[in-house]
Structure 1
Amino acid sequence: MSSNASTYSNPFAVDPAEIRDINVHARVPVILDASNSTYFAWKTYFTLLFRENNLVDHVDGTVDSRSMVDAAEWTVIDVTIIWWFFTTISKDLFHTVVSAGDDARAMWVKLNGLFTDNKLQRRVFLQQEFFDCRRLKTLADELRDIGAKVDDDLLLSTLTTGLNEDLATPPLTSP
């Protein structure tokens, strides 16, 4: 082994100090909350953060964290990811998902499950919000996440429903 080689027991050679120093709020600039439509953005930011820092294995289930109990670096990174989750979710969600002994994978599964497991209830909530506000793109993405189809015609008709009368097509007049 060369003197420059990593000495971490983590088989993926990620330096826990570098991971702990990441400003998660700069990388995930949204707070996940069940009462609004932040899930798609929150999940997307975290997915990119995991990919960028070679941390996907902590949340995707490819590595059994129980087999990593003796790998101190793995544990430090896993705990850091859990802290990230806790500081980027609402207090209500925190109280819903917090549980002693959970690893980052368990937390990731719980948080995602809250927004995708009860698809019918979530679909009704999202569709109601979809038709009641102007954040159509975000809501359409979240509806697609749970398997609901939102085509361009629906997006366009929903968007144009609330247009000012001055922008509407003028009526045809007879000569």
Structure 2
Amino acid sequence: MAGDDDTPPPPPPSYHPTFSVSNIKNLISITLDQEDAQYATWAEFFQIQCCAFNVQDHIDSKISRPTGTDDATWKRLDAIVKNWIYCTISKDLVQTIVKQGATALELWNRLEEVFHDNKHTRAIYLEEQFSNIKL
């Protein structure tokens, strides 16, 4: 018959629970900012969501990529996790960590460096703020 094709239809795209997240801000209510000193809380909330949606391998180099995840799906998941990071941090932090072509893990590590490598400077800043408080 004309128009009949014996080739099977393409397989459906891999479904992953992360694809169902439409607004990460509904799940992570904190916006990370350099001034608020809430990195540990933000990181904990972020890690909880990554665990819940099975994308920890995108922010933890000790967790290997799940077997059976094709390259296209992994790249799409990585883009989603990168978007989660960018959407839950301040504009100033976005400008600090943004890097063309970076993976979510690279962005995660850059954020950690911003907050952990700055401990001494941050302590001095907070001490100064504390001493300037008027009772």
Q: Tell me if the contact between 1:58 and 1:104 (Cα under 8 Å) persists in the aligned partners.
A: yes
Q: Tell me if the contact between 2:31 and 2:89 (Cα under 8 Å) persists in the aligned partners.
A: yes
Supply the AA of the counterpart residue of 1:19.
Answer: T
Instruction: State the structure with bigger RCO (CA 8 A, min sep 6), 1 or 2.
Output: 2
**Aligned position for 2:72:** 72
Aligned identity (percent) is: 29
> Alignment RMSD, CA only?
2.6
Q: Which residues of structure 1 form unaligned runs of 5+?
A: 1-6, 9-14, 134-161, 163-175
Query: Aligned in 2, Cα 1:50/1:129: closer, same or farther, shift over 3 Å?
Result: farther
Q: Tell me if the contact between 1:116 and 1:122 (Cα under 8 Å) persists in the aligned partners.
A: no
Q: Which digits, 9 at most, give the CA deviation of each residue in 1:115-137, with x for residues without a partner?
A: 1112211222344456777xxxx
CA deviation after TM superposition for structure 1 residue 103, in Å: 0.2
**Aligned position for 1:101:** 101
SS at match of 1:108: helix
CA deviation after TM superposition for structure 1 residue 63, in Å: 5.7
Superposed, 1:146-157 pairs within 5 Å as: none
Q: What TM-score do you get using the length of structure 1 for normalisation?
A: 0.58
Higher normalized helix content (fraction of residues): 1
Residues in 2 aligned to 1:80 and 1:108: alpha-carbon distance in whole angstroms: 13
Kindly indicate whether residue 55 of structure 2 is the aligned counterpart of residue 55 of structure 1.
yes
Q: Which residues of structure 2 form unaligned runs of 5+?
A: 1-12
Q: What TM-score do you get using the length of structure 2 for normalisation?
A: 0.74
Number of equivalenced pairs: 118
- Greater Cα radius of gyration, structure 1 or 2: 1
CA deviation after TM superposition for structure 1 residue 83, in Å: 0.5
Query: Aligned in 2, Cα 1:41/1:71: closer, same or farther, shift over 3 Å?
Result: same
